[in-house]
Protein backbone atom coordinates (compact mmCIF):
# COMPACT_ATOMS: atom_id res chain seq x y z
CA UNK A 1 0.00 0.00 0.00
CA UNK A 2 1.34 3.40 -0.97
CA UNK A 3 1.97 5.71 2.00
CA UNK A 4 2.20 9.49 2.14
CA UNK A 5 3.02 11.94 4.87
CA UNK A 6 0.23 14.37 5.67
CA UNK A 7 2.15 17.14 3.92
CA UNK A 8 2.66 15.01 0.78
CA UNK A 9 -1.03 14.13 0.79
CA UNK A 10 -2.05 17.77 1.09
CA UNK A 11 0.16 18.74 -1.81
CA UNK A 12 -1.05 15.90 -4.05
CA UNK A 13 -4.62 15.26 -2.86
CA UNK A 14 -6.30 15.68 -6.26
CA UNK A 15 -3.91 13.22 -7.93
CA UNK A 16 -4.10 10.78 -5.03
CA UNK A 17 -7.92 10.85 -5.14
CA UNK A 18 -7.93 10.31 -8.90
CA UNK A 19 -5.57 7.34 -8.54
CA UNK A 20 -7.60 5.76 -5.74
CA UNK A 21 -10.82 6.01 -7.74
CA UNK A 22 -9.15 4.58 -10.84
CA UNK A 23 -7.14 1.74 -9.27
CA UNK A 24 -9.27 0.97 -6.20
CA UNK A 25 -6.06 0.73 -4.17
CA UNK A 26 -6.29 2.43 -0.76
CA UNK A 27 -3.58 4.82 0.40
CA UNK A 28 -2.09 5.32 3.86
CA UNK A 29 -1.62 8.89 5.13
CA UNK A 30 0.46 9.18 8.27
CA UNK A 31 2.56 11.28 10.56
CA UNK A 32 4.71 10.31 13.55
CA UNK A 33 1.78 9.35 15.78
CA UNK A 34 -1.30 8.81 13.61
CA UNK A 35 -2.29 7.18 10.38
CA UNK A 36 -5.42 6.78 8.32
CA UNK A 37 -6.50 4.93 5.23
CA UNK A 38 -8.02 6.77 2.28
CA UNK A 39 -10.24 4.75 -0.05
CA UNK A 40 -12.90 5.47 -2.63
CA UNK A 41 -16.53 5.89 -1.63
CA UNK A 42 -17.47 2.88 -3.78
CA UNK A 43 -14.89 0.70 -2.03
CA UNK A 44 -16.02 1.94 1.39
CA UNK A 45 -19.65 1.13 0.58
CA UNK A 46 -18.66 -2.31 -0.70
CA UNK A 47 -16.73 -2.98 2.49
CA UNK A 48 -19.70 -1.88 4.61
CA UNK A 49 -22.03 -4.17 2.65
CA UNK A 50 -19.65 -7.11 3.06
CA UNK A 51 -19.43 -6.52 6.81
CA UNK A 52 -23.21 -6.35 7.02
CA UNK A 53 -23.66 -9.62 5.12
CA UNK A 54 -21.09 -11.36 7.31
CA UNK A 55 -23.01 -10.17 10.38
CA UNK A 56 -26.09 -12.20 9.41
CA UNK A 57 -25.77 -15.57 11.17
CA UNK A 58 -25.51 -18.48 8.74
CA UNK A 59 -25.77 -16.42 5.56
CA UNK A 60 -22.23 -17.05 4.32
CA UNK A 61 -22.63 -20.78 4.93
CA UNK A 62 -25.90 -20.77 2.94
CA UNK A 63 -24.27 -18.88 0.07
CA UNK A 64 -21.35 -21.32 0.00
CA UNK A 65 -23.71 -24.30 0.03
CA UNK A 66 -25.88 -22.82 -2.72
CA UNK A 67 -22.82 -22.20 -4.89
CA UNK A 68 -22.21 -25.97 -4.94
CA UNK A 69 -25.58 -26.69 -6.57
CA UNK A 70 -25.48 -27.41 -10.30
CA UNK A 71 -26.93 -24.54 -12.32
CA UNK A 72 -29.26 -26.98 -14.06
CA UNK A 73 -31.08 -27.63 -10.78
CA UNK A 74 -31.83 -23.95 -10.21
CA UNK A 75 -35.32 -22.63 -10.86
CA UNK A 76 -35.67 -19.76 -13.32
CA UNK A 77 -37.96 -16.97 -12.10
CA UNK A 78 -39.70 -14.45 -14.30
CA UNK A 79 -40.78 -11.00 -13.19
CA UNK A 80 -44.37 -12.24 -13.24
CA UNK A 81 -43.43 -14.75 -10.47
CA UNK A 82 -42.94 -11.93 -7.97
Which pTM value belongs to this model?
A: 0.69
38-74: per-residue pLDDT in tens? 999 999 999 999 999 999 999 999 989 988 988 888 7
21 and 31 co-located in one domain:
yes
| pLDDT at residue 39, rounded to an integer | 97
Position 11 in a domain: yes
16 assigned to some structural domain: yes
Residue 24: which residues within 8 A CB-CB, separation 6 or more?
40, 42, 43
Categorize the per-residue pLDDT at 16 as very low, low, confident or very high, splitting at 50, 70 and 90.
Answer: very high
Question: What CA–CA distance (Å, rounded) separates 63 from 50?
Answer: 13
- The alpha helices in 1-82, defined as continuous H runs, are 6-11, 13-23, 41-55, 59-66
Same domain membership, residue 55 and residue 26: no
Please tell me the distance from the alpha carbon of residue 4 to that of residue 33, in angstroms, as a whole number.
Answer: 14
The count of domains in the chain is: 2
Give Cα 17 to chain centroid, integer Å: 16
If asked whether residues 32 and 54 sit together in one domain, one would say no
pLDDT of residue 82: 65
What range does the domain containing 63 cover?
Answer: 40-69
Residues 45 and 33 in one domain: no
46 and 62 co-located in one domain: yes
Amino acid sequence: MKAYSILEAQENLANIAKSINKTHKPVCIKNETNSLILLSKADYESLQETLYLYSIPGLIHEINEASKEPIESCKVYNSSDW
